[in-house]
A and B are shown apart, each in its own frame.
Chain A
Amino acid sequence: MIQVENLHKKFSKNQVLTGLDLNIQEGGIFAILGPNGSGKTTLIKIILGMVIADKGTVSVFGKHIKNKWKYRQEIEYLPQIANFPGNLRVKELIRMIKDLRQQPCEEKRLIELFGLQPFMDKKLATLSGGTKQKVNIVLAFMFNSPLIILDEPTTGLDPAALISLKELIQKEKQEGKTILITSHIMQFVEEVADEIVYLLEGKIYFKGGISELMEKTAQTNFEHAIAAIATKKSNA
């Protein structure tokens, strides 16, 4: 579904990705992990075409994405920081995105699921961080696309919303969708992810199942296994 070859990206002097190769097949939940600043968001934004790679190729659904935009019709994206135009109402924002995408849409169920009905007529600038994130999630899940990319979806969510989110992700997975997630909450990753992609120093350091990772690092706890990768590398 996604093929990334020899990807390089530099932000002024900061080399973020150094020859990253990645192949993500169809179906399942993939967690992209890595320490802060390891290039998780950059990788996601390159796949989305928001950041332009210096070198390397990215194909989504078997086609090169360079200078293309139509392929984004098949992708739903949840950005890391929910930045919305503050003077719009929640209702207007949802209507606008629907109008822009012109795809079948099931926002009503999601709005109910996250209890957003009382906020529909409020301006986005007046919402709390968690509520904004809920709106963000509704926007990301309301279309029926085969590829879903979630950048830190758990930020600011209360436990009830977090449970709803997990159910939502599982439901999408059962429909055969491919889901990419980045998160720093290891408990969440352990619960939902089928496969781990660990980014370190601009490359894929590890790709495989959670049990494989525990074997490799000789740890019994997932969180410690992830932490072990980073420390082992820096000690070496």
Chain B
Amino acid sequence: MLKILKYSFYDLMRSRWSYVYFLFYLALGFVLLFLNNDVSKAVITLMNIIIVLVPLIGTIFGVMYYYDSKEFTELLLAQPIKRSSIFLGQYLGVACSLTLSLVLGLGIPFLLYGLFKSNVIFDFSLLLVTGAFLTLIFTAIAFNIALSNENKIKGFGYAVLAWLFLAVVYDGLFLMSLIVFEEYPLDSFSLAATMFNPIDLSRTLILLKLDISALLGYTGAVFKEFFGTNTGLIISILMLLLWTVLPIGRLAYKAKRKDF
């Protein structure tokens, strides 16, 4: 598996897009920090961008890479390599190079700015950790969709729809349900609903770490009580892990049974 990972990783490192993605974050980091002059605010702005953009890029790169490397995959399938190694290796190659672009692109400006001297280092690392998780999750979802759809256009469409649903539509449905059922106690419902969407989960996690939960009103207090504690943090991270492991598991399972 490591060899496949190596080749996929090198392949991506040679492509222009990894650098574009890296430079984009680099520029974003510098602009936000040096125009804002306030690390906490920069972290919040970054969060808003990361929470939407990282899943989108993960989805699109995942689908594109899968379809693009189809020939490579077919070549590998006839070689003495385990099937799950081929697909997991390619997946990890994409996910790792995207994560690296994100972490380096944002990390460098923050380091230069003197992150270690400020007290937001923990918030910032949390931002990077959730960013990495979102990359892993959405690339895995994209690989799953591409594996199940021979037709490129269909696969691309479904992948973008999946992103749209989790990033936008889900929130809309969530809010609507809150309004419709506003007469009932909704604390545990909204907690659960947040848990079931990795984007919402990441957003809530970061917002509450940033101590601006007062803005969120009563629900915010409930959330604070849950997410603010160490147990809440651990459960959330576990949930993100679960979100990562499940699609990867399905990927390995499906890859074993597919005909090429």
Q: A interface vs B, CB < 8 Å?
A: 11, 45, 48-52, 67, 69-73, 75, 77, 79, 83-87, 96-97, 99-101
Per the bound structure, the CA–CA distance linking A52 and B77 in Å amounts to 12
**Cβ B79 vs Cβ A45 within 8 A:** no
In the bound complex, how far is the Cα of B71 from the Cα of A221, in angstroms? Answer: 39
Assess the B72–A50 pair: CB atoms within 8 A: no
Q: Chain B binding site: helix, strand, loop or mixed by DSSP?
A: helix
A52 to B257, CA, bound (A): 7
Instruction: Name the A residues within 8 Å of B81 (CB-CB).
Output: 69, 72, 100
Contact A73 B75 (CB under 8 A): no
B79 and A101 within 8 A (CB): yes
- A sample of 23 cross-chain residue pairs with beta-carbon separation below 8 angstroms, ordered by A number, consists of A11-B259, A50-B259, A52-B257, A52-B258, A67-B256, A69-B80, A69-B83, A70-B80, A72-B79, A72-B81, A77-B78, A79-B75, A83-B74, A84-B75, A85-B11, A85-B69, A85-B71, A97-B75, A97-B79, A99-B3, A100-B79, A100-B81, A101-B80
Given contacts A51-B259, A52-B259, whether A72 and B80 have CB atoms under 8 Å apart is: yes
Contact B71 A48 (CB under 8 A): no
A86 cross-chain contacts in B, Cβ below 8 A? 71
Nearest residue, chain A, Cβ from B74: A83
Residues of B within 8 A of A71 (CB): 80
A87-B15, A101-B79 known; 16 other A-B pairs, CB under 8 Å? A45-B259, A50-B259, A51-B259, A72-B80, A73-B80, A75-B78, A77-B78, A79-B78, A83-B74, A84-B71, A85-B11, A85-B75, A86-B71, A97-B75, A97-B79, A100-B76
Nearest CB to that of B3 among chain A residues? A100
A96 touches B7 (CB 8 A): yes
Chain A residues near B76: list those with CB within 8 A: 100
B69, B70, B74, B78 pick with most chain A CB within 10 angstroms = B78
Interface residues contributed by chain B, number (CB under 8 Å):
24
Contacts of A52 in B (CB 8 A): 257-259
Scoring B residues 38 to 74 as 1 if CB is less than 8 Å from chain A, else 0, what string do you get?
A: 0000000000000000000000000000000111101
B residues 1-36 touching A (CB-CB < 8 Å)? 3, 7, 11, 14-15
Contacts of B83 in A (CB 8 A): 69
Identify the 8 closest CB pairs spanning chains A and B, nearest first. Answer: A83-B71, A72-B80, A73-B80, A51-B259, A77-B78, A85-B72, A50-B260, A69-B82
Question: For the complex, what is the distance from the CA of A114 to the CA of B197, rounded to whole Å?
Answer: 56
The CA-CA distance from A69 to B236 in the complex, in Å, is: 38
Q: Complex: how many Å from CA A115 to CA B69?
A: 28
Q: Complex: how many Å from CA A69 to CA B7?
A: 20
Closest to A76 in B: B78
For A87, the chain B residues whose CB sits under 8 A away are 11, 14-15
Closest Cβ neighbor of B75 among chain A residues: A84
Which residues of A are found within 8 Å of B69, using beta-carbon distances?
A: 85
- Interface membership of chain B positions 240-260, coded 1 if the CB is closer than 8 angstroms to chain A and 0 otherwise: 000000000000000011111
With known contacts A11-B259, A45-B260, A79–B74 Cβ distance under 8 A? yes
- Closest residue of chain B to A9 (Cβ to Cβ) is B259
Please tell me if the beta carbons of A50 and B78 are within 8 angstroms of each other in the complex: yes
Once bound together, how far apart are the Cα atoms of A166 and B17, in whole Å?
Answer: 44
- Which of B113-150 touch A at CB < 8 Å? none
Tell me which of B75, B81, B82, B258 has the highest count of chain A C-beta atoms within 10 A of its own C-beta: B75
CB distance from B27 to the nearest CB of A (A): 27
Q: Which chain B residues lie closer than 8 Å to A70 at the CB level?
A: 80
A51 surroundings in chain B (CB, below 8 A): 259-260
Inter-chain CA distance A200–B101, complex, in Å, is 54
Instruction: Answer whether A72 and B78 are a contact pair too, CB < 8 Å, given A51-B260, A52-B257, A100-B3.
Output: yes
Contacts of A48 in B (CB 8 A): 77-78
Alpha-carbon gap, A100 to B83, bound state (A): 14
